[in-house]
């Protein structure tokens, strides 16, 4: 092509002169062609991609016009060149062909570029990456001729002026094009950017901004200035939203399923293949998300290749420093090449991560959506095979595993590739001795694997103890009042501490293991280098270890380290994901309900509901309910047909309540109509309930309707049906959960012949008999068949099953009704206060923790104190020493390599290897030592912090537990202690490691090139700013993400329990949309979280790349003074620094998030405590109280500061042995009397004196252990029965059996195989309520003190147990003072005196007979109870 132009590359011409230049032929051919080849290769793919992804149409703008015009001018310029060549040819000047080919190619390429500019505009591309890269390459390639043309012109005349001028016009234009392509076009017409108020800036970001994630900066700044809130988050990109992702995945899954079900004929043909192909969910996933993911893989491939460029450049750089005569421009260009290679690697790596994470995010959305949709249509048979918890796990755990896997999946092929490449280059460098090093690496893999396995088994063990501890803690907090009343705290504290000790022992073992693995991980690169170098020098006398070999090998070994460590991890996470895949696929392959099983079309039959010859299958269940389910199409239909005319409303037996406001629960997606709504509330007797609920009908109902009583839930469920105005009502025993009088109201106003539903078809399942006379038709089901049918009168005459049923039920009912009257108030009124306690403080807590963004240094100091201040200091010193030895080893290596220059290698080899080994091994030992000390420290801190928290919680007054939700206290004991045990120490370890690594890099570079100190200032400043912005923003994004995550799962578990209701009302789509919305809401905070990591990565790595650049530059500048060893040392250190800088920021962020746990535990370890348990100098004598006289002197009390008094100025004297009954209406202060005796409430005023001792002066345990109470709710703890009676093991077995006999439990206990060791489950669930009450009686008998307080159970347990307790008390506690809080007056009619309280004052106090004669309050109460 070039013909007679001076020959191609001539090295004298390029490398070995101070004014280098490329030969003309190279300048005319290769350089201009490079960008053209790039554009022609990429454009077909790019055009195809644009055709597929059309984003709308962009209006022609000035920018666009300028670009197009410039493109055309460029084409003209190139062809002017071509024509001038033709012109010269016609003048008989022979030109080589290159003068024709190059302008032709260039011109065509400019036309292509101009076409792309317009094509992108039509397809809505705002900023083009392809063209940007094209213009950049063009400019870079044109710089060389630009310089050489000037150099030539200054030496000689310009031969062809036209070509000379044209070239400079060309250069100016492409530079302009490059500058213009940095700017963005306007967004396309009608795109979301225009319509969405809070659009994500990524959609409009330019190419450069996307590559560097510059578009995220606005959020980073916002998060730094003030805490982010939900409204600050950008909307989700269309492509990531559930509405696109889920249908896409489901379509692929449908395709898979249809392939799997092959038609009959095929089966006959392929009878050999018995197994029909299972539909594979994996294939569906690959087809839905694969293509996008592959783009990320392409980036990864590029990045892997570029990784190996730097070690080669390092080799050239060291080589360069060895040659004193080498021109310095070569050094500079190497430095800049290293910088650009690192920069390119950074940008590409983060693009790859971005693609992977977004794929993971879409995977999660898709899987959650698919599972949710499936759960709405799955048959009941299938539903029973997996619990709600398991299905929620599919969503949370399994979907999460896929998400985590996508980030590493590329490592599967990338790790082997990197290992192969690294080994190839190492082999070139050091020959076969590499194998020694690799052998060490490979040997370390099983070592690490073994440690990982042991660690996992320890973790399982530790989880077991942790669960045990939390379970016990939960019981303790639930029964804390009882513990205080019995003065049993110390015994239970011991139990917790025993479990905690076991937990810490396992934690210690884990810590030692992890110290070993840390050592392996830190000394691995060193051991590898040591063995390789040692083998290399000893194998052959001629092998000389010079700087080039040593440091290039070191940097290659560092590259090797990552894939070798990642491979086992990736493989284990693939195994986990495949298990998850099986589970998800299993769930998605379950049978679905047949939507056609019930004919809902308005057919012409005269019946509203008809079942002809129906036969249904379902597992065991109540038959009447089954009939309703069959009508709803919830059961598998074997034969026959069902038809229902019009819409259906359904009230299930177990009311299903959503976590929404009361009004939303009733409207259930229908529009609100004031008038109709009020009528519905009235009919369902909900109006009085609204008055007691804190927010009226806007009260937020907790999950599963937690803050409504059973009756209220049932009535809300009924109101929902009534409001829906359907045609057919299926009511499944809605009246069983409500009280008799309410049931009557509802039947009359809603269901009955005169109710709101008259004229509608209603099918009522009932076990009550009282309403049957008023219904039109009765269906009697026996064993799944209709045995009789007809009106009430007809059936009574027939004497069939109905008659028998009626008679038994009737007798049964007459008893029941009597019992119900005894309750003072129905359970419906009880449940209006739980809601307030739980809901309010949560908001404040979030707000409070958001305010404290900068965790104060004080908290770090608290943690250091818990570890032990000296130990903390010692740990830091150890880390410093370890870094020092590591630097020492490498400096020694650089000295060793300098021997090669002076040719004194052989005589000193052994000394060199020996010292190198000593330094390196001492580093390993120090690492292990520092990890061990850190482990000791962390165990110490964990023990201390838990101990103080526990001590404080046992000493906290009762009022604290009444106002703080238990969940919040448990959270301190579970989540926060877990963070302190496990998460925080590992974060500290990583932080210290990365901090010292970064520090040692700086020291090494400054040591070799002191001038580097100048650059550190500005770089550190940038680093600091980026780090502050990132930490502030990412922490809040994490918080927002975790807050928005739980609604997905709670909404899902709610849906699973209510599927039949949702289906009956036909609300499937609405619920699917709701779920999608919640998922998108969560992804909305997750997405910026991912991007914040990329944003940080690009910026921090840029700083790292600058460090590489300056280290190399200064090495080139100070080349005369530096030995090649030092250059190798400082640059190879610089190449590693990016990793540690990056991790250091992440660790700072994690440290700040996790140290909050210390603060929260501290906060609850410092709440106010109650009076001391034992006051040494005021201890009462051991036989106190001898008589049991009790005196109240002008006594007043209130529940908490700032509340009204509950007892006012009470004065009374009680002689030892008197029996006192305490009565009064609800809220008169009866229970408060007893709480005062035990000092659960401290006096506001006045005194209580027991046998001459003022109770306010003695220790709480001294007081409480001398009183006995039989509480209202019997509380049992999980453990043996013996422990429940006598936790301190003070009494002998005989005594225990004796009290069991007295409390009528002996027969029950001796029949149990384990006798006294009978295990009570949590809350004593395995005993009946009556038996639990008797256990409490046995406790009282065992303690047998002079004063007994009996708080009667409100709802009579059963009259039998009650009589047993009363008679035992009369005989056994004859000579004791007894206080009874009575709800049934007949128990206290024979007491010495009765105290009547009213509004906290004494109203009447006398013997029962006198009081009845006075005809006062007591007489009125007795009359109500039918005793007077």
**Measured distance CA(340)–CA(1030) in Å, rounded:** 25
Q: What is the DSSP string of 273-328?
A: --SPPPP-HHHHHHHHHHHHHHHHHHHHHHHHHHHTHHHHHHHHHHHHHH-TTS-H
Low-confidence winner among 113-117, 160-164, 1242-1246 (lowest mean pLDDT): 160-164
**Measured distance CA(167)–CA(147) in Å, rounded:** 12
- Is the confidence at residue 472, as pLDDT, over 80? yes
pLDDT, tens digit (0-9, with 9 covering 90-100), for 46-98? 998 888 877 778 888 888 999 999 999 999 998 888 888 888 888 877 778 88
**Measured distance CA(277)–CA(256) in Å, rounded:** 10
**Cα-Cα-Cα-Cα dihedral sign, residues 482, 486, 491, 497:** positive
pLDDT, tens digit (0-9, with 9 covering 90-100), for 836-874? 333 333 333 444 444 444 557 888 888 999 998 999 999
The SS3 call for residue 654 is coil
Q: Which residue has the higher pLDDT, 492 or 609?
A: 492
Q: Which helix (H) or strand (E) holds 1054?
A: helix 1013-1057
Nearest to 1331, CA basis, from 1360, 1351, 1352, 1354: 1360
- Is the confidence at residue 764, as pLDDT, over 90? no
- Is the confidence at residue 1336, as pLDDT, over 90? no
**Measured distance CA(1276)–CA(1320) in Å, rounded:** 8
Count, in order, helices (H) and strands (E) of the chain: 52, 20
The pLDDT-based confidence of 4 (bands split at 50, 70, 90) is: very low
**Measured distance CA(612)–CA(641) in Å, rounded:** 5
- Residues paired with 1280 in a beta bridge: 1319
With b for 16 or more beta-carbon neighbours within 10 A and e for fewer, the 295-319 pattern comes to ebbebbebbbebbbbbbbbbbbbbb
pLDDT, tens digit (0-9, with 9 covering 90-100), for 589-637? 888 887 777 776 656 566 777 777 777 665 545 566 677 778 887 777 7
With b for 16 or more beta-carbon neighbours within 10 A and e for fewer, the 97-128 pattern comes to ebbbbbbebbbbbbbbbbebbebbbebbbbbb
Q: Which residue has the higher pLDDT, 1314 or 1197?
A: 1197
pLDDT, tens digit (0-9, with 9 covering 90-100), for 242-280? 999 999 999 999 998 888 765 554 555 555 444 556 788
pLDDT of 1086 reads: 92
Q: Would you tell me the crossing angle of helices 710-723 and 674-683 to the nearest 10 degrees? A: 140
Q: Would you tell me the crossing angle of helices 217-225 and 1068-1117 to the nearest 10 degrees? A: 100
Nearest to 1318, CA basis, from 1274, 1279, 1277: 1279
Q: What is the DSSP string of 805-867?
A: HHHHHHHHHHHHHHHHHT-SS-GGGGTTSHHHHHHHHHHHHHHHHHH--S--HHHHHHHHHHH
1015 in Cβ contact with 358 (< 8 Å): no
Low-confidence winner among 352-356, 603-607, 635-639, 1023-1027 (lowest mean pLDDT): 603-607
For the sheet with 1393-1398, list strands across it: 1267-1270, 1347-1351, 1377-1381, 1219-1223, 1393-1398, 1401-1406
**Cα-Cα-Cα-Cα dihedral sign, residues 1162, 1168, 1170, 1176:** positive
- Residues paired with 765 in a beta bridge: 732
**Measured distance CA(1342)–CA(1234) in Å, rounded:** 20
The SS3 call for residue 202 is helix
**Measured distance CA(682)–CA(676) in Å, rounded:** 10
CA–CA distance from 194 to each of 57, 191, 197, 203, 662 (Å)? 13, 6, 8, 11, 38
Proportion of the chain above pLDDT 90, given as a percent: 20
The pLDDT-based confidence of 327 (bands split at 50, 70, 90) is: confident
**Measured distance CA(238)–CA(208) in Å, rounded:** 22
Q: Which residue has the higher pLDDT, 847 or 505?
A: 505
Q: Which helix (H) or strand (E) holds 1253?
A: strand 1253-1254
Tokens of 632: 């709803």
pLDDT of 2 reads: 58
Tokens of 175: 């530079």
pLDDT, tens digit (0-9, with 9 covering 90-100), for 366-412? 999 999 999 888 887 777 777 777 888 888 888 888 888 888 889 99
Q: What does residue 1266 show for φ and ψ, rounded to 5 degrees?
A: -100, 0
- Is the confidence at residue 1011, as pLDDT, over 80? yes
Q: Which residue has the higher pLDDT, 208 or 1399?
A: 208
**Measured distance CA(153)–CA(243) in Å, rounded:** 64
Nearest to 937, CA basis, from 877, 879, 995, 985: 985
**Measured distance CA(418)–CA(1261) in Å, rounded:** 69
Mean pLDDT of 454-476: 88
Nearest to 1263, CA basis, from 1242, 1238, 1290, 1234: 1238
CA–CA distance from 613 to each of 610, 638, 640, 789 (Å)? 10, 10, 5, 16
- Is the confidence at residue 996, as pLDDT, over 70? yes
Alpha helices in 91-230 (DSSP H): 98-123, 129-155, 161-180, 192-195, 207-212, 217-225
Proportion of the chain above pLDDT 70, given as a percent: 89
- Is the confidence at residue 834, as pLDDT, over 60? no
Tokens of 468: 């045990």
pLDDT of 199 reads: 84
Cα–chain center distance at 943: 26
Contacts of 1075 (CB under 8 A, 6+ apart): 368, 369, 372, 1048, 1051, 1052, 1055
- Is the confidence at residue 1010, as pLDDT, over 80? yes
Q: Which helix (H) or strand (E) holds 525?
A: helix 489-539
The pLDDT-based confidence of 740 (bands split at 50, 70, 90) is: low
Mean pLDDT of 232-241: 89
The pLDDT-based confidence of 804 (bands split at 50, 70, 90) is: low
The pLDDT-based confidence of 756 (bands split at 50, 70, 90) is: confident
Long-range contacts of 389-395 (CB under 8 A, 24+ apart): 389/1053, 391/587, 391/1052, 391/1053, 391/1056, 392/1049, 392/1052, 392/1053, 392/1056, 394/580, 394/583, 394/584, 394/587, 395/367, 395/368, 395/371, 395/1048, 395/1049, 395/1052
Cis peptide before 1185 (omega within 30 of 0): yes
Q: How many residues are there in the chain?
A: 1428
Contacts of 210 (CB under 8 A, 6+ apart): 127, 129, 202
- Is the confidence at residue 325, as pLDDT, over 70? yes
880 in Cβ contact with 1180 (< 8 Å): no
Cα–chain center distance at 430: 48
- Is the confidence at residue 1124, as pLDDT, over 50? yes
Q: Look at the block and give the residue holding tokens 């899902």.
A: 1052
Tokens of 684: 């369902």
**Pairing status of strand 1267-1270 against strand 1347-1351:** parallel
Query: CA-based diameter of the chain, in Å?
Result: 145
189 in Cβ contact with 143 (< 8 Å): no
The pLDDT-based confidence of 1256 (bands split at 50, 70, 90) is: confident
The pLDDT-based confidence of 364 (bands split at 50, 70, 90) is: very high
Q: Look at the block and give the residue holding tokens 């705002």.
A: 126
Contacts of 1364 (CB under 8 A, 6+ apart): 1303, 1304, 1334
Cα–chain center distance at 517: 27
The pLDDT-based confidence of 641 (bands split at 50, 70, 90) is: confident
**Measured distance CA(877)–CA(868) in Å, rounded:** 14
pLDDT, tens digit (0-9, with 9 covering 90-100), for 1056-1094? 888 888 988 888 899 999 999 999 999 999 999 999 999
Q: What does residue 709 show for φ and ψ, rounded to 5 degrees?
A: -75, 170
Give the count of beta carbons closer than 10 Å to the beta carbon of residue 873.
11
**Measured distance CA(14)–CA(26) in Å, rounded:** 12
User: C-alpha angle 1246/1250/1256, rounded to 5°?
Assistant: 45
């Amino acid at each position: 092509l070039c013909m007679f132009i001076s020959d191609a590359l001539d090295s004298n011409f390029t490398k070995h002169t101070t004014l280098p230049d490329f030969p003309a032929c190279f300048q005319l051919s290769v350089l201009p062609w490079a960008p053209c080849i790039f554009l022609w290769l990429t454009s077909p793919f790019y055009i195809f991609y644009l055709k597929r992804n059309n984003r709308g149409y962009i209006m022609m703008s000035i920018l666009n016009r300028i670009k197009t015009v410039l493109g055309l001018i460029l084409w003209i310029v190139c062809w002017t060149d071509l024509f001038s060549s033709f012109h010269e040819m016609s003048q008989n000047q022979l030109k080589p062909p290159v003068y024709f080919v190059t302008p032709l190619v260039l011109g065509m390429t400019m036309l292509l570029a101009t076409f792309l500019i317009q094509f992108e505009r039509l397809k809505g591309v705002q900023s083009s990456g392809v063209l940007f890269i094209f213009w950049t390459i063009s400019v870079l390639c044109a710089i060389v001729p630009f310089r050489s043309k000037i150099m030539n012109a200054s030496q000689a005349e310009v031969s062809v002026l036209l070509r000379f001028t044209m070239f400079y016009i060309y250069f100016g234009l492409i530079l302009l094009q490059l500058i213009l392509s940095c700017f963005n076009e306007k967004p396309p017409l009608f795109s979301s950017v225009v319509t969405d108020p809070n659009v994500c800036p990524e959609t409009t970001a330019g190419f450069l901004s996307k590559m560097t994630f510059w578009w995220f900066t606005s959020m980073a700044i916002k998060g730094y200035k003030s805490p982010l809130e939900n409204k600050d988050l950008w909307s989700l990109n269309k492509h990531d939203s559930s509405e696109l992702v889920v249908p896409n995945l489901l379509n692929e899954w449908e395709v898979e399923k249809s392939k799997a079900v092959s038609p009959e004929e095929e089966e006959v043909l392929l009878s050999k293949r018995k197994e029909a192909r299972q539909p594979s969910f994996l294939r569906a996933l690959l087809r839905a998300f694969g293509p996008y993911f592959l783009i990320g893989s392409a980036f990864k491939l590029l990045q892997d290749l570029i990784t190996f460029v730097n070690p080669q450049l390092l080799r050239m750089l060291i080589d360069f420093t060895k040659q004193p005569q080498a021109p310095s421009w070569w050094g500079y260009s190497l430095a800049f090449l290293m910088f650009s290679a690192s920069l390119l690697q950074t940008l590409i790596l983060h693009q790859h991560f971005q693609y992977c994470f977004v794929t993971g995010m879409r995977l999660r959305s898709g899987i959650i959506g698919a599972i949710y949709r499936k759960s709405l249509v799955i048959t009941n048979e299938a539903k029973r095979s997996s619990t709600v918890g398991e299905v929620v796990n599919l969503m949370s755990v399994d979907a999460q595993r896929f998400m985590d896997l996508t980030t590493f999946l590329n490592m599967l092929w990338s790790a082997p590739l990197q290992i192969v490449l690294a080994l190839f280059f190492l082999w070139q460098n050091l020959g076969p001795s590499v194998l020694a090093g690799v052998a060490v690496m490979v040997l370390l893999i099983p070592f690490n694997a073994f440690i990982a396995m042991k660690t996992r088994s320890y973790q399982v063990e530790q989880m077991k103890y942790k669960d045990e501890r939390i379970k016990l803690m939960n019981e303790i907090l639930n029964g804390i009042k009882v513990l205080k009343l019995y003065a049993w705290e110390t015994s239970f504290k011991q139990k917790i501490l025993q479990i905690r000790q076991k937990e810490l022992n396992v934690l210690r073992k884990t810590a030692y293991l992890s110290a070993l693995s840390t050592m392996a991980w830190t000394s691995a690169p060193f051991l590898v280098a040591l063995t390789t170098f040692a083998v290399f020098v000893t194998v052959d006398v001629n092998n000389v270890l010079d700087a080039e070999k040593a440091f290039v090998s070191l940097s290659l070994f560092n590259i090797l380290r990552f894939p070798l460590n990642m491979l086992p991890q990736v493989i284990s996470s693939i195994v986990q994901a495949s298990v998850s895949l099986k589970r998800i696929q299993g769930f998605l392959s379950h049978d679905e309900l047949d939507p056609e099983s019930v004919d809902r079309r308005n057919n012409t039959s005269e019946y509203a509901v008809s079942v002809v010859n129906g036969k249904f299958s379902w597992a065991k269940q109540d038959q009447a309910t089954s009939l309703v389910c069959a009508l709803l199409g919830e059961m598998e239909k074997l034969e026959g047909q069902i038809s229902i005319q019009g819409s259906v409303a359904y009230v299930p037996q177990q009311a299903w309540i959503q976590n929404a406001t009361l009004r939303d629960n009733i409207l259930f997606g229908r529009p609100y109509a004031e008038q109709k709504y009020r009528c519905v509330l009235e009919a369902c007797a909900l109006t009085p309930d609204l008055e007691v609920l804190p927010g009226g009908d806007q009260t937020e109902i907790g999950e599963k309707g937690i803050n409504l009583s059973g009756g209220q839930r049932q009535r809300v469920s009924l109101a929902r049906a009534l409001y829906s105005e359907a045609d057919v009502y299926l009511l499944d025993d809605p009246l069983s959960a409500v009280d008799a009088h309410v049931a009557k109201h509802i039947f009359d106003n809603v269901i009955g012949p005169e109710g709101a539903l008259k004229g509608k078809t209603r099918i009522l399942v009932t076990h009550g008999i009282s309403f049957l006379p008023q219904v039109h038709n009765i269906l009697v089901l026996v064993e799944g068949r209709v045995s009789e049918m007809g009106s009430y009168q007809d059936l009574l005459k027939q004497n069939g099953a109905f008659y028998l049923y009626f008679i038994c039920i009737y007798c049964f009912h007459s008893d029941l009704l009597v019992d119900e009257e005894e309750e003072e108030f129905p359970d419906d009124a009880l449940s209006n206060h739980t809601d307030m306690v739980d809901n309010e403080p949560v908001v404040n807590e979030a707000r409070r923790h958001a305010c404290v963004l900068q965790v104060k240094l004080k908290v770090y100091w608290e943690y250091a104190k818990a570890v032990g201040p000296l130990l903390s200091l010692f740990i830091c010193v150890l880390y410093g020493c370890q870094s020092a030895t590591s630097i020492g080893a490498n400096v020694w290596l650089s000295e060793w390599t300098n021997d090669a220059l002076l040719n004194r290698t052989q005589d000193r080899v052994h000394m060199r290897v020996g010292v190198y080994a000593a330094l390196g091994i001492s580093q390993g030992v120090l690492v292990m030592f520092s990890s061990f000390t850190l482990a000791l420290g962390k165990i110490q801190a964990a023990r201390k912090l838990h101990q103080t928290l526990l001590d404080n919680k046992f000493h906290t007054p009762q009022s604290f537990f009444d106002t703080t939700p238990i969940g919040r206290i448990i959270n301190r004991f579970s989540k926060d202690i877990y963070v302190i045990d496990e998460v925080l120490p590992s974060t500290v370890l990583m932080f210290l490691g990365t901090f010292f690594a970064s520090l040692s890099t700086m020291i090494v570079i400054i040591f070799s090139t002191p001038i580097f100190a100048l650059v550190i200032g500005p770089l550190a400043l940038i680093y600091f700013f980026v780090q502050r912005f990132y930490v502030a923003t990412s922490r809040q994004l994490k918080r927002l993400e975790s807050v928005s995550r739980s609604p997905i799962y709670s909404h899902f578990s709610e849906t699973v329990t209510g599927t039949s209701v949702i289906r009956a009302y036909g609300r499937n789509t609405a619920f699917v949309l709701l779920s999608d919305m919640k998922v998108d809401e969560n992804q909305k905070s997750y997405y910026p979280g991912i991007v914040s990591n990329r944003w940080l990565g690009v910026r921090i790595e840029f700083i790292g790349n600058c460090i590489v650049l300056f280290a190399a530059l200064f090495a080139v500048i100070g080349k005369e003074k530096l030995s090649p060893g030092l250059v190798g040392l400082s640059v190879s250190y610089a190449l590693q620094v990016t990793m540690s800088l990056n991790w250091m920021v992440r660790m700072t962020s994690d440290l700040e998030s996790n140290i909050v746990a210390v603060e929260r535990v501290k906060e609850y370890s410092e709440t106010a405590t109650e009076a001391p348990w034992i006051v040494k100098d005021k201890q009462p004598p051991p036989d106190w109280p001898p008589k049991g006289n009790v005196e109240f002197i002008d006594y007043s009390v209130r529940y908490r500061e700032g509340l009204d008094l509950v007892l006012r100025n009470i004065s009374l004297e009680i002689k030892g042995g008197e029996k006192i009954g305490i009565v009064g209406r609800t809220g008169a202060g009866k229970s408060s009397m007893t709480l005062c005796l035990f000092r659960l409430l401290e006096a506001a005023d006045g005194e209580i004196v027991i046998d001459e001792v003022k109770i306010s002066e003695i220790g709480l345990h001294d007081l409480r252990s001398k009183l006995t109470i039989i509480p209202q709710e019997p509380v049992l703890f999980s453990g043996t029965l013996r422990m429940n009676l006598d936790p301190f093991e003070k009494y002998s077995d005989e005594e225990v059996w004796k009290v069991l006999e007295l409390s009528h439990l002996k027969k029950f206990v001796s029949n149990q195989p384990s006798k006294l060791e009978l295990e009570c489950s949590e809350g004593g669930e395995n005993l009946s309520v009556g038996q639990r009450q008797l256990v409490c009686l046995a406790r009282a008998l065992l303690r047998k003190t002079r004063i007994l307080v009996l708080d009667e159970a409100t709802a009579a347990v059963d009259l039998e147990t009650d009589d047993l307790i009363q008679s035992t008390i009369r005989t056994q506690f004859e000579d004791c003072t007894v206080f009874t809080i009575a709800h049934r007056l007949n128990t206290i009619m024979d007491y010495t005196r009765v105290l009547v309280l009213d509004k906290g004052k004494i109203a009447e106090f006398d013997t029962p007979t006198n009081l009845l004669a006075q005809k006062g309050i007591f007489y009125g109460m007795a009359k109500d109870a039918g005793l007077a």
